[in-house]
Amino acid sequence: MLLAGLVSPRLTSYSNSSLFLKADSWIFLQVNNLHSSIFNKLMIWLTEYGREVFWVVVIVLLFILGGGSGKKTAIVIAISILVLIPLGTITKDIISRLRPAIPKSDFLIAADSDYSFPSGHAVIVSAGAAVALALFRDTYRKLAISVLLAIEATLVCISRVYVGGHYPLDVVGGILLGVGVSFIFVGIGGHLESLFLSIKNILKH
């Protein structure tokens, strides 16, 4: 909430946080100006497919191939994402921070039309990675898979700044929101599991 207040034109005067916002813009430029032919295609791919497509596939594979912990992880990730999608949209409208519009920056893809804070990509991928690291770790192989998912989520977050879609603080805000909400569902995961088992038993009869 403190971070949102610092970046929102509705909640605070930009003059009161000018140094904070200037630092955010400066970091944005440093990342955004690192463009090279080697990384451009990768970062565009990550920003276009690393959220919905990648994580839908992950949820399906975890549910089918991940055993008991995989099914639980997949369900918690899915519930977290379903809650976070409208929550992220509402938060964007409340904060009303505009997308990056810095002349020196080099935009690799067209900017989205909605507001900037928090990053929707960061919200979703950080939630998925956080749940996987918390729940899908009962063997070394599963922990390794969760670490790889966290690495993918990190690269997607970086890609949002790299392609010019978000300021760094938008991404940080998205991570905080995604991890925070997902951990609520991780915490009540046992209750959700009991609920699903009860429903399953009722359907059997």
Q: Which residues form the catalytic set? A: 121, 166
Amino acid making up residue 174: G
Contact present, 88 and 120 (Cβ < 8 Å): yes
Q: Count Cβ atoms below 10 Å from residue 25 Cβ, excluding itself.
A: 17
Contact present, 23 and 7 (Cβ < 8 Å): no
- Give CA–CA dist 157/148, Å, rounded: 14
Tell me the torsion sign for CA atoms 112, 11, 87, 190: positive
Q: Count Cβ atoms below 10 Å from residue 37 Cβ, excluding itself.
A: 6
Supply φ then ψ for residue 58, to 5 degrees.
-60, -45
- Choose among 139, 171, 176: nearest CA to 47: 171
Tell me the torsion sign for CA atoms 160, 157, 173, 167: negative
Supply φ then ψ for residue 97, to 5 degrees.
-85, 130
Which residue has 């904070």 as its token pair? 20
